[in-house]
Amino acid sequence: MSATVLYMSMSLDGFVTGPNDGPGNGLGDGGGRLFNWLDHRLEPGPSGQVYNEALATGAVISGRRTFELAGQWGGDHHDGVPILVLTHEIPDSEPPGSARYVTDVAEAATLAKAGAGEKDVMVHGAGAAQALLRAGLLDEMEIHLVPVLLGGGRRLFDHLGPEHVELELTRTLHGPGVTHLHYLVDKVARPGPS
């Protein structure tokens, strides 16, 4: 069965952007540091492997913020696959290309899985990750752990509430300047604090 998989670069201190991310500064101040490993994305080796896996997905779920900061990917994240954009309010203007606005996280997950067919669904952005985790709808995570402390920025894991989410590390790949950690997400509700 296809899986819904988060792909995100994260510093050891948990940030996915530098400080002050926003229009014209999508990665935040100094946040480009997190993506140096992508220099190796077209080479044989672990980082190329992980990059190819990401681009083999059959649909994308993104938060509205990430979508806008990425220039809406020109309407085509990769291979014209469906892009489900989570937003609080549907804008008046239609999104470009294969993108579609959705307000309900469960609907986004369902539409993405249907659109991806046999393939996995890529999730991108902290907002989408958090919404899917809270809803128990994220199956796996590929965290590109970058050996740097950014000291500030937008955190990947935030606003999740006190319930524990148990994970299972199923693969570790070391690329130049990055460790790719693959986790399964245990979606069974946990008692949390005890």
Minimum gap (Å) between residue 22 Cβ and its own copies: 14
Per rule CB under 8 A, is residue 26 in the interface with its own copies? no
Report the alpha-carbon distance of residue 6 to residue 54 in Å, rounded: 9
Per rule CB under 8 A, is residue 24 in the interface with its own copies? no
Per rule CB under 8 A, is residue 44 in the interface with its own copies? no
Binding range to its own copies, per CB under 8 A, among 79-87, 100-108, 120-128, 159-167: 159-167
Per rule CB under 8 A, is residue 39 in the interface with its own copies? no
CA angle 78, 43, 120 (to 5 degrees): 35
Per rule CB under 8 A, is residue 133 in the interface with its own copies? yes
Q: Residue 46, SS3?
A: helix
The per-residue b/e assignment along 109-128, b for 16 or more CB within 10 angstroms, e otherwise, is bebbbebbeebbbbbbbbbb
Residues contacting 122, CB < 8 A, separation 6+: 5, 7, 54, 57, 59, 60, 61, 77
- Closest listed residue to residue 68, CA positions, set 37, 39, 34, 25: 25
Strands 140-146 and 99-102: unpaired
Report the site for its own copies in 167-186 (rule: CB under 8 A).
167-169, 172, 174, 179, 181, 183
Binding range to its own copies, per CB under 8 A, among 73-81, 103-111, 117-125, 154-162: 154-162
Q: Which is nearer to its own copies, 83 or 146 (CB)?
A: 146
The token duo for 91 is 């804008």
Amino acid at 120: D
Per rule CB under 8 A, is residue 119 in the interface with its own copies? no
Per rule CB under 8 A, is residue 29 in the interface with its own copies? yes
Q: Which is nearer to its own copies, 29 or 53 (CB)?
A: 29
Per rule CB under 8 A, is residue 104 in the interface with its own copies? no
Report the alpha-carbon distance of residue 194 to residue 106 in Å, rounded: 29
Per rule CB under 8 A, is residue 187 in the interface with its own copies? no
- Residues near its own copies (CB under 8 A) are 12-14, 18-19, 29-30, 32-33, 133, 143, 147-152, 155-158, 160-169, 172, 174, 179, 181, 183, 192-194
